[in-house]
């Protein structure tokens, strides 16, 4: 599959009476977006705001972040199986509004939601302090269940991203990149001397409010399977989960998965990016055994020389991570795992809830228990009502001077396990 991605650089975002994209400036019709959102009877009200890099703005509690995109050529549409029919994406051409993002917030859905600061210390830990953000602050109707509220927010955010992406359909991109993923045998014939490397992406699927969707299907309903990496870059996977903000893969993370990008960059040079496998993270031992067995079987079937495994979440999923690592190593394929650590505030506790001697090549995204003090900012989009309840917060952590004491766990993307962050160890 061959996908062309046209990157349109966004340099500013403003509200306007007419939606358009001109010379890098994204003009948003506030009334039109509001009307579109309120078509969902589950949402009573929505406030739209803008947060730009360097502004004294805090967004919390953050649910999801989505990058605006539009399919301009080829089969399918953006976010297939959710906003459009189920049709395979990953080929043709897609335009991306690079530097723009939709951020959803509002009354808390689950306790594992986060903070985005656009300036100050907190901004150093989140990639979304560098994006021009259209923020939607939602108020649900009374009595709406958490699951229905999450669904309403998720769909609203995706619709907003699609509407903004549509503005880039006829715009000439600043840069066009081509990503091509060959069938297994064609790749082997074209690069016979290069090591065959695969990518196993673990998707959060540990139960209610821990959901990741592939072509609109909750991944917990699927066995381990294969997917083209170009499909992922084209919107086949979206986030719907409430894992800790620091290592949650938002929809933006899936669309810009750096493991995929780096493997494509090395493809045909130092390695053959031969296959991508997606697997779920489970609650019960039998399900963990089943999924990790299938992962190892697929790796062996594809005759891969090496595999990168990325995790999402922590604690219970550490067992899935180690099972995948151990079983893949047992079939003769070397592994590198990407995770983060919950090593205690002093860094001396056990970093993972599970371990094995076969996990001898590890990339870390940092210690999520590290404590930071976020300074008071001039403006809050959302509410501070939950900063003591979200994962990484604690009682009385909102100080009299307006500053907030939290673990990195509370900052969206701080220790992301795709490596989409600035922390690691050496």
State how far the Cα of 377 lies from the Cα of 387, in Å rounded to an integer. 14
CA-based end-to-end distance of the chain: 36
Predicted confidence at residue 425, as pLDDT, reads 73
- Three-class DSSP category at 103: strand
The position carrying tokens 């917060």 is 393
- Three-class DSSP category at 345: coil
Predicted confidence at residue 102, as pLDDT, reads 98
Note the residue count of the chain. Answer: 426
State how far the Cα of 242 lies from the Cα of 110, in Å rounded to an integer. 6
Q: Among all residues, which ones are annotated catalytic? A: 242
Predicted confidence at residue 312, as pLDDT, reads 94
Summarize pLDDT for 40-50 with one digit per residue, the tens: 999 999 999 99
State how far the Cα of 183 lies from the Cα of 132, in Å rounded to an integer. 37
State how far the Cα of 330 lies from the Cα of 266, in Å rounded to an integer. 26
Predicted confidence at residue 200, as pLDDT, reads 98
State how far the Cα of 334 lies from the Cα of 366, in Å rounded to an integer. 23
Predicted confidence at residue 208, as pLDDT, reads 75
Instruction: Dump strand ranges (E) for 67-113.
Output: 69-73, 92-98, 100-106
Summarize pLDDT for 75-103 with one digit per residue, the tens: 999 999 999 999 999 999 999 999 999 99
Per-block average pLDDT, block size 10, for the chain (426 residues)?
97 97 97 97 97 98 96 95 94 98 88 91 97 97 91 96 97 97 94 97 88 94 96 96 90 97 97 97 93 97 97 92 98 97 90 92 94 97 91 91 95 95 80
State how far the Cα of 388 lies from the Cα of 235, in Å rounded to an integer. 34
State how far the Cα of 178 lies from the Cα of 180, in Å rounded to an integer. 6
């Amino acid at each position: 599959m061959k996908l062309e991605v046209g990157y349109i650089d966004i340099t500013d975002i403003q509200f306007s009476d007419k939606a358009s994209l001109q010379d890098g400036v994204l003009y948003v019709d506030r009334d039109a977006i509001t009307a579109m959102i309120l078509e969902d009877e589950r949402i009573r009200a929505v406030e739209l705001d803008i947060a730009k890099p360097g502004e004294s703005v805090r967004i919390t509690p953050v649910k999801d972040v989505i990058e605006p995109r539009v399919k301009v050529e080829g089969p399918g549409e953006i976010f297939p199986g959710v906003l459009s029919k189920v049709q395979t994406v990953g080929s043709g051409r897609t335009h991306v509004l690079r530097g723009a993002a939709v951020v959803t917030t509002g009354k808390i859905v689950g306790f594992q939601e986060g903070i985005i600061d656009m300036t100050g210390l907190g901004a150093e830990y989140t990639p979304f302090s560098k994006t021009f953000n259209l923020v939607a602050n939602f108020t649900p109707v009374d009595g709406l269940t958490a699951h229905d509220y999450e669904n309403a927010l998720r769909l609203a955010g995706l619709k907003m991203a699609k509407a903004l992406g549509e503005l880039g359909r006829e715009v000439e991109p600043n840069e066009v990149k081509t990503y091509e993923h060959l069938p297994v045998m064609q790749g082997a014939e074209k690069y016979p001397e290069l090591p065959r490397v695969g990518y196993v992406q673990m998707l959060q699927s540990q139960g209610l409010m821990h959901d990741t969707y592939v072509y609109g299907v909750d991944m917990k309903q699927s066995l381990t399977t294969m997917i083209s990496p170009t499909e992922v870059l084209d919107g086949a996977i979206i986030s719907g989960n409430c894992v800790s903000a620091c290592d949650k893969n938002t929809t933006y993370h899936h669309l810009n998965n750096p493991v995929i990008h780096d493997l494509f960059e090395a493809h045909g040079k130092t390695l053959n990016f031969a296959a991508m496998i997606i697997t779920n993270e489970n609650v019960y031992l039998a399900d963990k055994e089943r999924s990790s067995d299938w992962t190892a079987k697929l790796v062996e079937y594809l005759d891969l020389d090496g595999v990168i495994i990325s995790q999402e979440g922590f604690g219970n999923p550490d067992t899935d991570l180690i099972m995948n690592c151990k079983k893949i190593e047992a079939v003769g394929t070397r592994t590198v795992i990407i995770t983060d650590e919950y090593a205690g505030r002093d860094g001396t506790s056990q970093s993972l809830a599970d371990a094995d001697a076969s996990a001898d090549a590890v990339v870390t995204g940092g210690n999520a228990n590290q404590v930071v003090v976020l300074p008071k900012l001039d403006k809050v989009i959302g509410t501070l009502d939950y900063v003591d309840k979200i994962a990484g917060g604690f009682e009385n952590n909102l100080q009299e001077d307006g500053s907030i004491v939290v673990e990195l766990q509370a900052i969206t993307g701080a220790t992301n396990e795709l490596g989409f962050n600035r922390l690691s160890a050496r």
